[in-house]
Amino acid sequence: MDNKKLLEEIKNLSNDEKRNIKYDDIVKIVNKLSEEEIIELSKIIGYPVFARLCMGPLRHKFILLQDGAAIIIVNEKGEILLQRRADRDKWGLPGGCQELSETFEEVVIRETKEETNLDIKAKDLELLAMVSGKSRRNYYPNGDIVYNNTALYCTRKYSGKLKWDSESKELKFFALDNLPKNQNDPDLIEIYKRESEKNLILYQ
């Protein structure tokens, strides 16, 4: 089988099948591919999952450093959009991990479309902060532990109708004084709240 057909075959696997490719098979596959094809494979599987597959028996023990982006989407009422995640039943911001070769702007545009069905443009993104450190530690139900380095953006311009994928149970806009208690990204939201308070004082 040539490499193009091999990648197409992997693309047609379910998410569970991709996550459970055996380490020995990953080694054989990667050894056949060029650098560009490895990048393509990582995008097909999803970079964090692909990285863990390449770790073999240590994949659930190794603490992974992940780069990514999240976004504060603000409606005309000043409310922010949160998604209730299916895996942990917590409310968090739209966003996700960076794929190989992506810019942070491309990450947040792609993830917003995938998770909310909303369209946003790079020119309408405001970078609020680059967030890292202990507050960005995250635990997954399968036992994985990660530290996320997160580019936090904000936008008030978007188009489309809200629609969520299998990663979410619900999408809803919340007022800043009425946020849900079970939050997935409280550190990021606090940064936005502080910036909002600064701007309010500045323009009074």
Range of the domain at 86: 64-202
If asked whether residues 39 and 120 sit together in one domain, one would say no
Residue ending a domain, choose from 58, 79, 99: 58
If asked whether residues 193 and 175 sit together in one domain, one would say yes
If asked whether residues 164 and 140 sit together in one domain, one would say yes
Mean pLDDT confidence for 75-100: 91
pTM: 0.87
Residue ending a domain, choose from 43, 58, 73: 58
If asked whether residues 169 and 79 sit together in one domain, one would say yes
If asked whether residues 12 and 28 sit together in one domain, one would say yes
If asked whether residues 133 and 45 sit together in one domain, one would say no
User: Does residue 194 contact residue 149 with C-beta atoms inside 8 Å?
Assistant: no
Give bridge partners of residue 81 from the DSSP assignment.
173
If asked whether residues 25 and 74 sit together in one domain, one would say no
**Distance, CA of 24 to CA of 26 (rounded, Å):** 5
If asked whether residues 46 and 71 sit together in one domain, one would say no
**Distance, CA of 77 to CA of 121 (rounded, Å):** 21
If asked whether residues 45 and 72 sit together in one domain, one would say no
Written in H, E and C, the secondary structure of the chain is CCHHHHHHHHHCCCHHHHHCCCHHHHHHHHHHCCHHHHHHHHHHHCHHHHHHHCCHHHCCCCCEEEEEEEEEEECCCCCEEEEEECCCCCEECCEEECCCCCCHHHHHHHHHHHHHCCECCHHHCEEEEEECCHHHEEECCCCCEEEEEEEEEEECCCECCCCCCCCEEEEEEECHHHCCCCECCHHHHHHHHHHHHHHHHHCC
Q: What is the pLDDT of residue 199?
A: 65
If asked whether residues 50 and 132 sit together in one domain, one would say no
- Averaged pLDDT of the chain: 91
% of the chain with per-residue pLDDT over 90: 79
**Distance, CA of 146 to CA of 136 (rounded, Å):** 8
Instruction: Provide the pLDDT confidence category of residue 203 given band limits of 50, 70 and 90.
Output: very low
Number of structural domains found in the chain: 2
Residue recorded with tokens 């491309």: 106
If asked whether residues 79 and 130 sit together in one domain, one would say yes
Assign residue 94 the CATH number of its domain.
3.90.79.10
Q: What is the pLDDT of residue 202?
A: 37
